[in-house]
Structure 1
Amino acid sequence: MSFVPPPPVSVVGIGADGWDGLPEASRRVLRAAEVLIGGPRQLDLLPAADCPGERVGWPSPLRPAVPGLLAAHEGRRIAVLASGDPMFYGIGRTLTELAGPDRLHVLPHPSSVSYACARLGWPLEAVETVSLVARPLASLTAALHHGRRLLVLSEGAGTPAEVAGLLSDKGYGDSRLRVLEQLGSDAERVLDGAAAAWDHAPGAALNVLAIDCVRAPDAPRLGAVPGLPDEAYEHDGQLTKRYVRAATLAALAPAPGETLWDVGGGSGSIGIEWMRTDRSCRAVAVEKHPERAARIARNAAALGVPGLQIVTGPAPEALAGLPAPDAVFIGGGLTAPGLLDACWAALPAGGRLVANTVTLESEALLADRYRRHGGELVRLAVAQAVPVGGFTGWRQAMPVTQWSVTKPGVRA
């Protein structure tokens, strides 16, 4: 007897214009569906006469319920409704991860971002999109740069005022903010104004924000590459200074999707700037002092990466159970028994380890590992010009010894 695969799960994108805006291919799928799954707003857009299938609302929390929900309707024709393009910050990603792409038949609709760019005359490829749906407001901070155009996927009717407040707090109060509501429907509306003077009452929950970023002349300028000004951080002196930090991130060489362990987090600067290189980068800061761990959290939120994971406890004990790293930075505690060995063992083949120190005792450890494992052993020295009486001279900072190495072998 040959195996008959279950009917595919159709994932149908639908806009605020509802049934009228659907192409015939999507309508055919919805008419034939025995089970229609979606949010209440999406299900209400379907006319009962045309779509007689059983209607099932998403439970909460959604993700854990998906496998059981699909299994409960195994063998039936299932259509899942999604807002706009299901594969753009939509349910399509969750279904792909849980059910597998081979089981899905995705019929996209124009996304709210496509509609917004069409209304604004903005080239889609020249715009960055930030989602604040179920994400902290602080996530927007890392995307703020003078002259940049941003589209923000809103959490609800209150998001525009919250974004306007954040822009003002970060020195971007002169930015033009437009709220595009109910895109694609007859109820489309645009609210317009400067962030600092935003006084519009909350409108429709279904909205997208468009921001023309304007930074005030006296606002801090935070670049897109590692080496932010030291003044950008709250710290107690435990901070990898700007020029050494830039050299350290260069040695760590972050790539999209990779995970860093920042061991001995201090003020969190290495993990924070690792995550700022790409939205998909992740980092775990391990810090044994609770007050410093709290400071790391504040710095991460202030610099736009509130998703930085913070583990409070001494290493190597606190490393147990952490997500596998692609790179490890050790900025403190090198002489703790077993720390270097634990970090080396946790790295996969091709993973990178970078360790900095200013003490002779830790330098001896790094020199020994350099002899055993190779890599690069360098000394970083930075001097700054300072007044000397009526003249100018150099003030030398403590030199930093840095060992960087890539673990040999073939990555699995």
Structure 2
Amino acid sequence: MRDKILVFGGTTEGRLFASKLEELGIPHVVSVATEYGKTVEEESGEASLLVGRMDSSAIADLLRSGEFAAVVDATHPYAIKASQEIKSACEKESFTYLRLLRKTADSEANEGNVTYVEDVTDAAKELEKRAGNILLLTGSRDLKEITSKISDISRVYVRIIPDVASIEKCHEAGLRGRQIIAMQGPFSAAMNEALIREINASVILTKESGEAGGFSEKLRAADNCNAETIVIRNPEKNDTTQDGLEAGEILEKILAILGKEPLEETSKTITLGGVGPGDERFYTAELSKALKEADIVFGAKTVLERINGISAPQKDWYEGEKILEFLKEHQEYKAPLVVYSGDISLCSGAKKASAIFEEVGYTVKKITGISSVSLFAARIGAALEDVTIISNHGRDCDVCGFVRKNEKVILLVNSAEAALETAKRLPEECRVTFGCELGTDIEKISVYGAEGFLESDVKGKTLMYIENPAAIENKLIPALSDDEIIRGDVPMTKEEVRSLSIRKLGLTKDSILFDVGAGTGSISLEAALTDPGVKVFSIEKSEKAIELLYKNRDKFGLENMEIVEGKAPEALSGLPRPSHVFIGGSSGNLEEIIRSCKRDNGPVRFVVNCVTLETLGKTMEVISAMGAANTEVVQLSAARFKEVGSYHMADGMNPVFVIAFEV
């Protein structure tokens, strides 16, 4: 009797689909390729399994057994050969073939250090071009093909599932020992980040695998580590020949094939709510109602500890994937609630969780809460419309840069200890107010450095209110005069030339600038002062100049300026790909420096200063051969007038050629 569904699985969406068949009482068998896949399926509660890879002939033999009514292909989107074999067998035996597609359309990875490629071959070519250590997060299937195109595989590391077959493939690819990291997912962004930092990876390779494959967690980790990401596109995403369906559509087709009634429309709803900064005094009426109506409550342990008087069971989870897996196994819960600290619209994990629930068909109800920022502002009498709100909670943030530009700043910090360290780094004219454990019985508001101030009072969840009266006096265009810069006897790009060079660079928010041959750091300083979102890397080989770079950076308190000691292009290895490059001195390595800085996913803006005609000629020759675009050449001649007795005499500066172009 043909009443079973044959599911080719081994993926998260395959397991979820099989569990739905089980819930509906539809007989099924799940086919997985490996023993590891069998173990994972069994751990998720699947009992009816076939294990081992099958070609189209073996699949056809299975279909002729007379048990199966339809085939669901829930294999990995990148397992193209497997899908071809399954589809071929179904066509041969005139069986219904249903392809379950994985959603990857919401994967936002179109900015920063991300390069898309079409396949493994292109990915390997891109990796060979990159310097530094490589972390492969694409599994073991194509390892040999990748490593065969990388000349130095000693810099390659791979994360694989912990099974013998995968380790054998690593050995076949030439990888040994600590190059092989065998771990079972899912992996959080923090775990990915720890791994990237542990092996000092400058580039990672991943697949466009959507939320089910932890795609966003990999991208976020790479971005936090300033590592570049190569992404192999989902081959099914733009394949017009692939008639893929979502899980609900496939279920409807299966029910029709089996002669069963279609599913009743059931609306799955989950509520995400902010509990405010403290105890129940700061719950909104909407949240109080949701707490009473919820039949299960999820949240971080520290948040659940603040909730009293509810009879519903509680689970100390806040990750969307974990909660979703639980709810699929426990269909009895119809009114789940996930609670988050503060307001879910401000620095909250609710953003990611909401996307995960919506992707599988949940209606997500969102309850905003009172944020700790709002309560803090009310406590100290600050008007939020006059305040800039920033956060370095789990992210990089140039606090001093924002304080330099804004008179009033509220900062959400990682910890009380970090808050104290930040206060010590701020300019003396700043006034800092700490708000600790806001909304609780141990709430404490204190002013840093005031009479009676104790560092021991700064503890627990902490916010900072920073007032900088000098910010209003700062120049809108942060140009520095030459006498503001500590110079010593190191050559410096003069003020007039700096002004034009910075203008021609055309820096944008979140630019990454390489200042090659930084000298005293005059270009680096002005660029870093432009906006706290600009990240500057000052590359210099001279010990005298390096000493001045540190002094000047400290003088202006620039946290977004990093000094790199060494000679370019070698010193550029391991740095993030730049969006802008200023070259004040190349030591004869101009072409090599440009090639090292060039990106494949967008042009880099270069500005080169030349003093001699020979350097100008060589520069034009190099950039012409490289196909530079939007080239501009300006000869700048300037003279400053100085007093000589009762007269003002011209003191001419050497002419300088300012060359701007894109490669």
TM (normalized to structure 1)? 0.73
Distance 1:243 1:198 in 2: 47
2:479 counterpart of 1:227: yes
Match of 2:588 among 335, 345, 350: 335
* Cα distance per residue 1:211-243 (max 9 Å; x no partner): 332349xxxx75342422445544542443333
2:244 counterpart of 1:3: no
Distance 1:189 1:233 in 2: 41
* Cα distance per residue 1:18-72 (max 9 Å; x no partner): 334223544566674757342x53232122744522225x9xxxxxxx6986687
Deviation at 1:177, TM superposition (A): 4.0
Distance 2:598 2:578 in 1: 11
Deviation at 1:289, TM superposition (A): 4.2
Distance 1:276 1:215 in 2: 15
2:463 counterpart of 1:208: yes
Match of 2:368 among 108, 117, 141: 108
Distance 1:333 1:8 in 2: 61
* Cα distance per residue 1:158-182 (max 9 Å; x no partner): 5676565445xx351xx54433444
**Equivalent pair of 1:15/1:83 in contact (CA under 8 Å):** yes
Partner of 2:411: helix, strand, or coil?
Answer: strand
**Equivalent pair of 2:401/2:559 in contact (CA under 8 Å):** no
Deviation at 1:302, TM superposition (A): 4.6
Q: What is the match of residue 22 of structure 1?
A: 283
Partner of 2:581: helix, strand, or coil?
Answer: strand
Deviation at 1:3, TM superposition (A): 1.5
Deviation at 1:328, TM superposition (A): 1.9
Distance 1:254 1:316 in 2: 22
2:248 counterpart of 1:248: no
Distance 2:505 2:280 in 1: 51
Percent identity among equivalent residues?
A: 24
* Cα distance per residue 1:271-301 (max 9 Å; x no partner): 4443433333333333334664565455445
Match of 1:306 among 559, 566, 572: 559
Match of 1:13 among 274, 291, 297: 274
Deviation at 1:402, TM superposition (A): 0.8
* Cα distance per residue 1:143-166 (max 9 Å; x no partner): 345982222334554567656544
Q: What is the match of residue 407 of structure 2?
A: 148
Q: What is the match of residue 621 of structure 2?
A: 368
Q: What is the match of residue 342 of structure 2?
A: 84
Alignment of 1:170-319 (within 5 A): 170-172=427-429, 175-185=430-440, 188-192=443-447, 197=450, 199-202=452-455, 203-205=457-459, 206-215=461-470, 223-236=475-488, 237-289=490-542, 292-293=545-546, 296=549, 299-300=552-553, 302-319=555-572
Deviation at 1:122, TM superposition (A): 3.7
Distance 1:118 1:213 in 2: 19
Distance 1:310 1:146, change over 3 A: closer
Deviation at 1:404, TM superposition (A): 0.8
Deviation at 1:332, TM superposition (A): 1.4
Matched to 1:41, the amino acid is T
Distance 1:222 1:107, change over 3 A: same
Distance 1:385 1:199 in 2: 54
Distance 1:185 1:196, change over 3 A: closer
2:36 counterpart of 1:36: no
Distance 1:283 1:80 in 2: 40
Deviation at 1:210, TM superposition (A): 2.6
Distance 1:343 1:162, change over 3 A: closer
Matched to 1:124, the amino acid is L
Q: Determine which structure has greater relative contact order: mean sequence separation of CA pairs < 8 Å that are 6+ residues apart, divided by chain length.
A: 1
Distance 1:352 1:41, change over 3 A: same
* Cα distance per residue 1:251-287 (max 9 Å; x no partner): 1112223322322233444344434333333333333
Distance 2:641 2:602 in 1: 43
Larger Rg belongs to: 2
**Equivalent pair of 1:230/1:241 in contact (CA under 8 Å):** yes
Q: What is the match of residue 63 of structure 1?
A: none
Partner of 2:274: helix, strand, or coil?
Answer: strand
Distance 1:313 1:212, change over 3 A: closer
TM (normalized to structure 2)? 0.49
Q: Structure 1 regions of 5+ residues with no counterpart?
A: 59-65, 408-412
- Which stretch shows the higher mean deviation, 101-110 or 275-284? 101-110
